[in-house]
Amino acid sequence: MKGAEKIFAEVALEISPMPAEAKREKEFALEICRILEKNLKGEGVECAFVGSAARDTGLKGDNDLDLFVQFPRDKSEDYIVKKTFEAARKIPGEWVTHYAEHPYLQAQLGAFKVEVIPCFRMAANGELKSAVDRSPLHMAYLQEKLTPPQRRDVRLLKKLLKTAGIYGAEISIEGFSGLLCEYLILNYRNLETLIESAAKWKAPVFVDLEGFYIDSTQPEFDAPLVLIDAIDKKRNVAAVLSETNFHKFVSLCQAFRRRQSRDFFFRPATKAPSRNEVAKKLKARGTHFLLLSFGKPELVEDILVPQLRKTASAITREMRAAGFGVVDYAYYAANNCGVLLELASSQRPSVELVQGPPVREEAACVNFSKAHSAALRGPFVKGDRIFVEERVTERSAKKFLSGLLKDARALGVGANLSAPLKGAAVLEDAELNSVSDDEAAELWKYLSARDYWL
């Protein structure tokens, strides 16, 4: 990869926080830590400034400061939450409670978004009392191991991934977490070697930084990438990474290896498409679009997105089972929530195969046969079940989908979505032109899906 280092150096200048900025950040974080420790005097507490800002692996403009308040292990969770909250609230600011495994506080203090998280002290490979207890150990480990050039490469890797849309362990992304980036650079020594290696990755890839399994069998994690946590050998740091995103990264690394360019780090902002362009592209496909649009419930992304995904996949499954040809589908949470279905046609076939009970359930088979005595074909045995073929009375996709929504619960949609789904609008084809700009942008994303490096 001739010329890669030159590009890395150039890009790094643009994406790294200024030294003065980084210094100010660190000083501010440590000052808050000292105050928290003072406010918790006698509790045996240490406050740790952790995360990418602390390790100098964050991108410019990323002003999140994570402060972990570590308590002795003999305390209860309720106790450490209560004490931490009291101590933090003495610091002037609008402290807002957030909930992960247990509650924590967040406030905008000047230029910085500060998070104060209570946790228990933990030893490497020791027992967790709560999921966040590892963070201070990660901090200590990485602070010691990562050299300054490696910190630069972590920043570059994050930017590369962010540009490709695969950075972040959020459930809506299923990509590479910051910690995973740091471990990868540490393991492969630098970004260039990581790219060279990842371009040849064949799933499953097993990375065991600390050699925990060097003399024993590797555990089975059923993931394309297994990266054993250096401070917890039972944990796969890449557990969230999806198969597609693993392969996107491999493909991205191959492309970078073929032609080094700063374009991999910076993409021109895609201008919002005009309503006309969206409408034209929708129509040009010659398929049938249905959009289920409904109010966005007040839920954090980590709860909303999985429910939305489950809903979209349940609807698609039902449509397919009913005989509709589903070309593809998508879902999004913009100002509204949406489930987009692209169908081969606005009507399903005029006949439908209806699955009956297994032959061994005699009584159920008798009832099924009776109930379908006027079937178009059947009943007949196929495999271990009986079936009939019925004439389809409701062939319209729009009407069928609206019918499904009447009993959204039975579909197995997310618990928090069954109420909003009842009031959902079902738009078809040209009606999609009436959605908000925000939603039109989501339609455009669907219509122009493309991995730019391919």
Contacts to a second copy by CB under 8 A: 199-203, 243-244, 247-248, 250-251, 254, 258, 285-287, 323, 325, 327-328, 344-345, 348-351, 353, 359-360, 362, 365-366, 369, 376-386, 389, 447-451, 454
Minimum CB distance to a second copy, residue 306 (Å): 20
Minimum CB distance to a second copy, residue 255 (Å): 9
Closest CA to 313 of 286, 295, 337, 331: 331
Whether residue 311 contacts residue 417, with contact meaning beta carbons closer than 8 Å, is answered with yes
Whether residue 434 contacts residue 275, with contact meaning beta carbons closer than 8 Å, is answered with no
Minimum CB distance to a second copy, residue 313 (Å): 15
Minimum CB distance to a second copy, residue 363 (Å): 10
Minimum CB distance to a second copy, residue 237 (Å): 21
CA separation for the pair 381, 187 (Å, rounded): 58
CB closer to a second copy, 235 vs 281 = 281
CB closer to a second copy, 234 vs 285 = 285
CB closer to a second copy, 366 vs 430 = 366
Distances (CA, A) of 51 to 24, 47, 338: 16, 13, 34
Closest CA to 208 of 181, 179, 249, 237: 237
187-220 residues labelled b (16+ CB within 10 A) or e (exposed): bbebbbebbbebbebeeebebbbeebeeeeeeee
What DSSP string runs through 345-391?
-SB--SEEEEEEEETT-HHHHHHHHHHTTT-SEEEEEETTEEEEEEE
CB closer to a second copy, 310 vs 385 = 385
What DSSP string runs through 246-298?
HHHHHHHHHHHHHS--GGGT--PPPPPPPHHHHHHHHHHT-SEEEEEEEEPPS
Q: What is the DSSP letter of 176?
A: B
Peptide bond into 19 cis (omega under 30): no
Minimum CB distance to a second copy, residue 249 (Å): 9
**Beta bridge partners of residue 176, listed in sequence order:** 167
Whether residue 60 contacts residue 19, with contact meaning beta carbons closer than 8 Å, is answered with no
Minimum CB distance to a second copy, residue 134 (Å): 31
Minimum CB distance to a second copy, residue 207 (Å): 18
How does strand 112-120 pair with strand 351-358?
unpaired
Whether residue 368 contacts residue 379, with contact meaning beta carbons closer than 8 Å, is answered with yes
Taking each helix axis as running N to C, give the angle between helix 191-198 and helix 178-188, from 0 to 180 degrees, rounded to the nearest 10: 90
Minimum CB distance to a second copy, residue 384 (Å): 5
CB closer to a second copy, 28 vs 387 = 387
